[in-house]
Homo-oligomer: A and B are copies of this chain.
Amino acid sequence: MPITHPIHKMVFPESEGDVLKVRDLHFSYPDGHVALRGISLNLCSGDKVALVGPNGAGKSTLMLHLNGILEGRGEIELRGLRLSRNNLPVIRSMVGLVFQNPDDQLFSPTVFEDVAFGPLHMGLPEADVRARVTSALEAVRMSAFKDRLSHHLSVGEKKRIAIATVLSMNPSVLVLDEPSAGLDPRARRSLINLLRELPITMLVSTHDMRLVQELFPRTVVMDDGQIVADGLTRDILEDEELLTAHGLEKP
Contacts and interface: CB of A to CB of B under 8 A. Distances in A.
Interface of A: 54-56, 154-156, 181-187, 189, 207, 209, 247-249
The binding surface of chain A is classed by DSSP as loop
A229 to B, nearest CB: 15
A55 B207 contact: no
A184 B54 contact: yes
A111 B186 CA distance: 36
A135 to B, nearest CB: 28
Contacts of A189: 249
A156 B186 contact: no
A101 to B, nearest CB: 10
A154 B185 CA distance: 25
B181 A56 contact: no
Given A54-B185, A189-B249, 10 more contacts: A55-B184, A55-B186, A56-B154, A181-B181, A182-B182, A183-B207, A185-B209, A185-B247, A186-B247, A186-B248
Nearest to A247: B186
Nearest to A154: B55
A182 to B, nearest CB: 6
A248 B187 CA distance: 10
A80 B54 CA distance: 45
A228 to B, nearest CB: 15
B187 A156 contact: no
B248 A185 contact: yes
A184 B207 contact: yes
A185 B207 contact: yes
Contact of A181 (B55, B182, B248): B182
A182 B206 CA distance: 10
A57 B225 CA distance: 40
A155 B55 contact: yes
